[in-house]
Amino acid sequence: MPELISFNENWLFEGTQQVRLPHTAVEVPYHYFDEKCYQRAFTYEKTFTPPNGWQGTELSLLLEAAMADAKIYLNGDLIAEHKDGYTPIHARLTDGLTDGENHLRIVIDGSENPEIPPFGGRIDYLCFAGIYRDVWLVQNAPLAIETVKIETPDVLNATKTLTAQVYFSNPQKKVISGTLEATLKDSEGNPIAHTQAELTGERLLLQMDNLQNIELWDVDAPHLYTLDLALKSPHGDDHHTTRFGFRHAEFTTDGFFLNGRSLKIRGLNRHQSFPYSGYAIGRSGQERDADLLKYDLRLNLVRTSHYPQSTAFLNRCDEIGLLVFEEIPGWQHIGGEKWKAESVENVRRMITRDWNHPSIIIWGVRINESEDDHAFYTETNRVARALDPTRQTGGVRCIEDSELLEDVYTMNDFNLGSHEISGSNRAARPLRDQREVTGLDHDVPYLITEYNGHMFPTKAHDQELRQIEHVTRHLQVLNAAFGAKGTAGAIGWCAFDYNTHSDFGAGDRICYHGVADMYRELKFAGHVYASQGEPEGGLVLEPVTLYARGERNINGILPLTVLTNCDSVELRYGTATPIRGEPDRINYPHLPHPPVVFRLEDFPEDALGNWGTAWDDCEVVGIWNGEAAISRKYCAAPLLTSLSVVPDATEIADGQDVRVMVRALDQVGNKARHAADPVTIEVKGAARLHGPALVPLRAGSTGFWLRAEGTGPITISVSLGSLGTTETFLTAI
């Protein structure tokens, strides 16, 4: 492996401030801010001494991403430029280095330069400026392994084959010679195959045949392998490790197949932004998002709307078995010829960065929701197929009868909300038939890439009835997608609320389109997805109620939708006889786990009390395999009794970010969903708080991210008026 030296520390930002990367150029408020505040140029500088013995080696700088237009100067000379805010920037340092101190200056222009995709039109999200991913100093031999593309052509056969196209970097134009040894290792690091070859040029194709006992990468068992390459040449040695998986992914007219098995895609779109910090949450925070999508929301796919996301996020998707739809930057607008040329380069950069991730099953090679453009999209598809013939292409559109140049017709179908007039008027059909959309007289591979979103924005603190409608819409589309034979599945808009331009959102620079809020706290609709997970992976029981006599119009909590993967649900209200409810297979015949809905008519007249009578406690119990397996209690007279403070991890590596969730709870542990009190956050020890130290609860909760700085204990104290202070302890390692 080339030596990767962390280069995140000791940057001088704007000539005055010492910062550590990843870094957001402007820490924005939670909402109601002017997005122009970060749309300008910023400077990062660093003075460094090359590592001992650097002469004769190759040194370069690797920025995993910087938004958006980057210029890199070494000792005053411009050495690299990059007009893509989402892919890595490589800057060769070797020729401009001197012994002793060297000076790096990086200018990042966060303006929405109309020559750079996605800019030039209006876009419904913010592209926060800064060097917002990790930066590395890369030290290599003059002849080194630059990149590797691994293909596993016949994974459905009993014995497997692997090919590895190895590309060498040779900036000093040495005469190429040497030996490359390749070792295939299983996930425990045991060698299982080996080959070697002599170098003949700047590429080399290796092949391993007849591989036995290979375990496939799948969503439930994401087996990973590594290919270790050792290069020995007269110009130095190099090592390179590539992680990959053996798997076969295919969209067909009969749906999506993973390793020959039909799999209905159940996904959500993800923006990579965070409150206050914009894009600048580091690796551990990215990994946590993947875990959240897989384990909390129980999804099998994420779409990286609308750009390539961090390698840390994708690596984690590989590790946990979360499929990925990755796409190029863009939103509705297609620019001029230069812009299109840049967009084609976006395709190239995305694919060459990410082609070894088994989780990625499709490349999005159209500008999200743009018009047809025959020449442009012929070229993006050509480039994608030439670089990676193993994956199909898609291109997300919202128009009907669009020209299908891709392998999969990927469609944003907002039909359910299209009849929206007053907030209650839902269309009869959640999804259109594919031929109605494609205008074709035959079926094609077909995937729904968005639904809901702006058709029904819903805040975590919205009135219960709106949240129920939000839930119902997600249930209905999912049900329709599961029922649509031949449709590969559906990806909802979207996972998390996100900051956006003033042209969009709720007027406060937020699109409340998530099934979770910006802190990733699930709204009720989030549990629609969670409840589709199989019970063996964890039981889900989420009654869609704030449990109050008078929260709804008129009164009461009926009909009560309980999102669950249990066999049935029992409602125990006060001293009344418990009532058993079964999954609603009439309204949701296609869902793996329909909700249980308790309706007024299921109850004897006064079973749940009426306006003016006493309001009682209640328990909702999930029955699974004949037993009461999970339960939620509700009290008739909730009080704010405790403040729960839960970090996602108790150990954080130096420089990494961790989320901490704060929830105001009542006597039985339910979130006090109207609580909007201010909480103060104090962090002592080896960490720094992202964002302000005084924040309000929203819908009973808030969150924050911490960055470990150094090593040692971290004490977090969160206080809320009458509840006093809750202390939590973490360690920076």
Which of 412, 458, 479, 499 touches ligand GAL by CB under 6 A? Answer: 412
Contact 348, 387 (CB under 8 A): yes
Catalytic residue among 250, 287, 327, 369: 369
Minimum Å gap between C-beta 366 and ligand GAL is 11
Which C-beta is closer to ligand GAL: that of 140 or that of 368? 368
Minimum Å gap between C-beta 513 and ligand GAL is 5
Rounded Cα distance, 244 and 165, in Å: 14
Rounded Cα distance, 370 and 312, in Å: 29
**521 classed as catalytic:** no
Angstrom distances, CA of residue 60 to CA of 57, 108, 137: 10, 18, 6
DSSP state of 416: G
Residue 666 tokens read as 């009542």
Please report which helix (H) or strand (E) contains residue 352, including its range: helix 337-354
Please, which residues bridge with residue 402 across strands? Answer: none
368 is a site residue for ligand GAL (CB under 6 A): yes
Minimum Å gap between C-beta 452 and ligand GAL is 7
Contact 422, 405 (CB under 8 A): no
Helices of type H across 50-193: none
DSSP, collapsed to helix, strand or coil, labels residue 434 as: helix
Which C-beta is closer to ligand GAL: that of 509 or that of 513? 513
Which C-beta is closer to ligand GAL: that of 347 or that of 494? 494
Please report which helix (H) or strand (E) contains residue 374, including its range: helix 374-387
Minimum Å gap between C-beta 431 and ligand GAL is 15
Minimum Å gap between C-beta 493 and ligand GAL is 4
**369 classed as catalytic:** yes
Which of 289, 354, 369, 388 touches ligand GAL by CB under 6 A? Answer: 369
Name, in order, each residue with C-beta under 8 angstroms of 595's C-beta and a sequence gap of 6 or more: 475, 528, 531, 561, 562, 563, 564, 583, 584, 588
Catalytic residue among 450, 464, 469, 521: 450
b/e for 415-427, b at 16 or more Cβ within 10 A? bbbeeeeeeeebb
Helices of type H across 514-665: 524-530
| Shortest-Cβ-distance residue relative to ligand GAL | 453
Which C-beta is closer to ligand GAL: that of 39 or that of 269? 269
318 is a site residue for ligand GAL (CB under 6 A): no
Which C-beta is closer to ligand GAL: that of 300 or that of 368? 368
450 is a site residue for ligand GAL (CB under 6 A): yes
Residue 637 tokens read as 């007279």
Backbone angles phi, psi at 300, to 5 degrees: -110, -5
Which C-beta is closer to ligand GAL: that of 453 or that of 655? 453
Closest CA to 473 of 528, 392, 538, 531: 528
List, in sequence order, every beta strand (DSSP E) within 522-653: 541-543, 560-564, 568-573, 579-581, 596-598, 618-624, 627-634, 642-647, 651-652
| Range in contact with ligand GAL (rule: CB under 6 A) among 72-80, 446-454, 516-524, 595-603 | 446-454
DSSP state of 295: I
Which of 27, 84, 109, 124 touches ligand GAL by CB under 6 A? Answer: 124
| Range in contact with ligand GAL (rule: CB under 6 A) among 158-166, 234-242, 449-457, 526-534 | 449-457
Minimum Å gap between C-beta 346 and ligand GAL is 17
| Range in contact with ligand GAL (rule: CB under 6 A) among 7-15, 236-244, 346-354, 447-455 | 447-455
Contact 34, 499 (CB under 8 A): no
Q: Helix axis angle, 337-354 relative to 311-320, nearest 10°? A: 40
Per CB under 6 A, which of residues 482..501 are in contact with ligand GAL?
Answer: 493
| Range in contact with ligand GAL (rule: CB under 6 A) among 190-198, 421-429, 450-458, 668-676 | 450-458
Which C-beta is closer to ligand GAL: that of 425 or that of 613? 425
Which C-beta is closer to ligand GAL: that of 256 or that of 493? 493
Which of 82, 288, 513, 673 touches ligand GAL by CB under 6 A? Answer: 513
Binding footprint of ligand GAL on the chain (CB under 6 A): 124, 305, 368-369, 398, 412, 450, 453-454, 493, 513
Active site amino acids? 369, 450
